[in-house]
Amino acid sequence: MPSSKRQWLWFLINIVILAGIFTLVQYMIATRMLNQYYQINLASMCINIILAVSLNLINGFTGQLSLGHAGFMAVGAYVAAVCTKSMDLSFIPAIIAGSLAAALAGLIIGVPTLRLRGDYLAIATLGFGEIIRVILQNIEEVGGPAGIVGIERLTTWPYLFLATVITIIVIQNLINSSYGRAIISVREDEVAAEMMGVNTTWYKVMAFMIGAGFAGLAGALFAHYFYIIKPDTFNFLKSFDILVMVVLGGLGSTTGAILAAIFITVLTAYLQAFPAIRMIIYAMILILVMIYRPQGLLGNKELTRKTFSRFWGGSA
Amino acid sequence: MRMKRCVAVLVLALFAMGMVAGCEQKAPNQATPAPQAGEILVGLNCELSGGVASYGTNAANGAKLAIDEINAKGGVLGKQLKVLERDSQSKTDEAMNVSADLVSKGIVAQIGPLVSGAVAACTPVMNENKVPLIAPAATAPGATVDEKTGETFPYIFRACFLDSDQGVRMAEYAYDTLNMKTAAIYGSNSDDYAKGLAKYFKEAFEAKGGKIVAQEGYVSGDKDFKATLTKIKAAQPEFIYVPGYYQEVSILIKQARELGITVPMGGGDGWDSPDMITVAGAEALNNTYFTNHYSVQDPKPEIANFVKAYEQKYSKTPDSFAALGYDSAYLLAEAIKAADSADPVKVAEALAKTKDFPGITGTMTFNEKHNPVKSIVVIEFKDGKLVSH
């Protein structure tokens, strides 16, 4: 066990590293070293990290297979966009409103569906995700199938960075708390957990709500970065994209989800130049990873400083 | 333990490869974008996969055919046009991402995307970087105009007519040419496209002094239209306007003829599909008309040549999207010639001044909103053949 002094030291080092990353990228943007294309991919990367980490909480840690993540993202995106566009709210309240609305949607959907297990739950969440999309498609006030066009671009690097860091910290700390133990116990064996007095439904709904809330946050950032949102953007294929990141990174590994989100974003961007074979290469990589690494890149392990020190033979 | 470590190294290597792959692309980008001498880069940002892949693929094929032809004739300003083709996956965020990528590569202009929403996502990138975008088929009125301020986007152009133009054209044709004084409207209620067509047809037809005796709607996916058709028949219109897509319209027309409705019927470019004849039958389609970008069976030599060249290259019949993509590329080439420069800003200025450009889809002149004022063909089904008017 590291002493509390050591913990403080590591805490400070972490802060310095984060501040370093932030300042470096901010500097590169300010000096135009990162052109618009890289900035867009950086934004996609941050949004994908938030989505993957939040879905990982539901799919990886709680063990509930949800296929409706894009639906929650849509709720966050639409609510936030309506807030800034029609109600003239500033950006931060809009983000919060979007996240809360998505969390509420998570609650509404979670309560009836989380009684289901496995495949049944997957199908039910898939259906709910589509329902959200179809409802949005039929509300004329938010543009119907054409969506909301001309959203102000308010998402900037500080917001993206802060949102990503907050997402990771909140979810990581949740998992390491007693709530997190309960959540993981649900995944490991629901019956045993219930026998030990864990209110499984409560913890499942809570994890679902928190995951949905962060998906809403990602949606709000997305809407204010890409100028336009339409219901089609949030179809079930988007949910699968996020699921791919989580499975690729390893169900139940936050660092895995982060690495996979970065990997998939870079891969998609790189393969844009080969439109004809893009999908083949993308699929091949997924198949290869699944054959040789069925538990995902990191399995359910986390990449921590311990991992590194073991690797280089040092003792932690 | 050893095994585990090996796997871990492998995985890290895979990541590293991904990163390097990403960085490799970075290298040429870092330098000031400067296309090689003797080449002019043209960006193609089309939906090559995803929901509307068929639109994007056909338009991209059309554009590539045009550029091959231009290059075979010696290129523009003595330089060859080089296509940079990217896939936006039918996603709006990817379309924007692709635009930013293409712009950073130093393209003179971008052709695509096809869908109005994707064009809207690219618009800020194009305007900010001052690179023109030619949208082959974005029909939404707001695609070229800032709806908040009413100002035309300086770098956004489109090659197609608007839904409003189509509705008005059919109203004029029905009233003036076919001499119809009363009409019924029975269109799709499921999409903005058909609703727009119905609205503009109604306005134009009534403005001319015609009378709309019935207006009904159906939902996409409907298979039985007989009840509503009986109602329309009772109103005794001289003409029925059916804006919508061929999937429903073909069945609708067949059922109308079965009910003994013999009056002429009309529609928009959503009717453009070989399935119309296979489903409705040549006989039922007699006396029906639709507005379209162009007609494949047009005997004009430039159209016949285009159709022949396209069929030879891609072994399929070019649809409207292919023709619009083809026209977009030629529009761009003409503008580069007129500007006498491959500078995107000058090309955009020249594009705005385009006048009487002879395209496959009609003669185009851009108005102040960067919309082409162009002829719209009315095509008649005659014994299973398409006759253009």
Rounded Cα distance between B35 and B103, Å, is 11
Question: Residue A173 forms beta bridges with which residues?
Answer: none
Domain ranges within chain A, ordered by starting residue: 29-234
Task: Supply A308's token pair.
Answer: 């590194």
Per-residue confidence band for A44, with pLDDT thresholds at 50, 70 and 90: very high
Give the number of other CB atoms < 10 A from CB of residue A311. Answer: 12
Among chain A residues, the shortest Cα distance to B2 is held by A311
Query: Backbone phi, then psi, for B272, in 5-degree steps?
Result: -75, 95
Q: Which of B28, B124, B18 is nearest to A40 (CA)?
A: B124
Per-residue confidence band for A42, with pLDDT thresholds at 50, 70 and 90: very high
Query: Given the structure tokens 């009309």, which residue do they identify?
Result: B266
Q: Do B124 and A230 touch (CB under 8 A)?
A: no
CA distances (Å), origin B182, targets A69, B211, B242, B286: 51, 5, 14, 20
E strand or H helix at B110 = strand B109-111
Q: Do A270 and B21 touch (CB under 8 A)?
A: yes
Q: Find the length of chain B.
A: 389
Tell whether B191 is within 8 A of chain A (Cβ): yes
E strand or H helix at A77 = helix A69-85
Tell whether A297 is within 8 A of chain B (Cβ): yes
Rounded Cα distance between B380 and B277, Å, is 12
Rounded Cα distance between A206 and A204, Å, is 5
* Three-state secondary-structure class, residue B87: strand
DSSP state of B291: E
Per-residue confidence band for A311, with pLDDT thresholds at 50, 70 and 90: low
CATH fold, domain B39-161+301-373, is Rossmann fold (3.40.50)
pLDDT 10s digit of each residue in chain B, 389 long? 454 554 455 445 544 444 444 443 433 343 344 555 679 999 999 998 887 888 899 999 999 999 999 999 999 999 999 999 999 888 889 999 999 999 999 999 999 899 888 998 999 999 999 999 999 988 888 889 887 888 999 999 999 988 888 999 999 999 999 999 999 999 988 777 888 899 999 999 999 999 999 999 988 788 999 999 999 999 999 999 999 888 889 999 999 999 999 999 999 988 887 788 888 999 999 999 999 988 888 888 889 999 999 999 999 989 889 999 999 999 999 999 999 999 999 999 999 999 999 999 988 999 999 999 888 889 999 988 888 87
Q: Which residues contact A116 (CB under 8 A, 6 or more apart)?
A: A124
Q: Do B125 and A275 touch (CB under 8 A)?
A: no
Cα radius of gyration rounded to whole Å, chain A: 20
Q: Do A37 and B87 touch (CB under 8 A)?
A: no
Q: How far is A195 from chain B (nearest CA, A)?
A: 35
Tell whether A240 is within 8 A of chain B (Cβ): no
Under 8 Å between Cβ of B220 and B248: yes
Under 8 Å between Cβ of A106 and A209: yes
Query: Backbone phi, then psi, for B376, in 5-degree steps?
Result: -115, 125
Query: Per-residue pLDDT tens for A261-288?
Result: 999 999 888 888 787 787 788 888 888 9
- Position B5 scores a pLDDT of 53
Tell whether A149 is within 8 A of chain B (Cβ): yes
DSSP state of A145: G
Among chain B residues, the shortest Cα distance to A140 is held by B192
Rounded Cα distance between B290 and B381, Å, is 9
Q: Which of A163, A205, A171 is nearest to A64 (CA)?
A: A205
Q: Which of A291, A206, A299 is nearest to A246 (CA)?
A: A299
Among chain A residues, the shortest Cα distance to B100 is held by A37
Contacts within 8 Å (CB) and 24+ apart, B2-11? B5/A311, B7/A292, B7/A293, B8/A311, B10/A292, B11/A293, B11/A297, B11/A298
Strand order in the sheet with B133-135: B80-87, B39-46, B109-111, B133-135, B156-158
Query: Per-residue pLDDT tens for A64-112?
Result: 999 999 999 999 999 999 999 989 899 999 999 999 999 999 999 999 8
Query: Per-residue pLDDT tens for A176-191?
Result: 999 999 999 999 998 9
Q: Do A145 and B86 touch (CB under 8 A)?
A: no
- Position A265 scores a pLDDT of 92
Chain B CB contacts of A267 under 8 Å are 18, 21
Tell whether B258 is within 8 A of chain A (Cβ): no
Please tell us whether the domain made up of B163-292 is placed in CATH 3.40.50.2300. Answer: yes
Q: Do B121 and A279 touch (CB under 8 A)?
A: no
Tell whether B86 is within 8 A of chain A (Cβ): yes
Q: Give yes or no for residue A4 having a pLDDT over 90.
A: no
Per-residue confidence band for A212, with pLDDT thresholds at 50, 70 and 90: very high
Dihedral angle computed from the Cα positions of residues B351, B352, B358 and B362, in that order, rounded to the nearest 10 degrees: 120
Residues 102-161 of B with CB under 8 A from A: 103-104, 116-117, 120-121, 123-125, 128-129, 140, 142, 146-148
Chain A CB contacts of B4 under 8 Å are none
- Position A3 scores a pLDDT of 62
Q: Do domains B39-161+301-373 and B163-292 have the same CATH topology?
A: yes
Mutate to test the interface with A, among B3, B14, B30 (most CBs of A within 10 A): B14
Rounded Cα distance between B322 and B306, Å, is 10
Tell whether B14 is within 8 A of chain A (Cβ): yes
Q: Exposed, middle or buried by CB within 10 Å (0-12, 13-18, 19+), for B113?
A: buried
Per-residue confidence band for A164, with pLDDT thresholds at 50, 70 and 90: very high
Helix (H), strand (E) counts: chain A: 13, 0
Q: Which residues contact B89 (CB under 8 A, 6 or more apart)?
A: B47, B48, B49, B50
Q: Exposed, middle or buried by CB within 10 Å (0-12, 13-18, 19+), for B223?
A: exposed
Query: Per-residue pLDDT tens for A108-154?
Result: 999 988 888 778 888 999 999 999 998 998 888 888 878 888 888 89
> Please, where are the H alpha helices in chain B?
2-30, 53-72, 92-104, 116-129, 163-172, 192-207, 226-234, 246-258, 275-280, 282-285, 301-314, 320-339, 344-352
Residues 68-107 of A with CB under 8 A from B: none
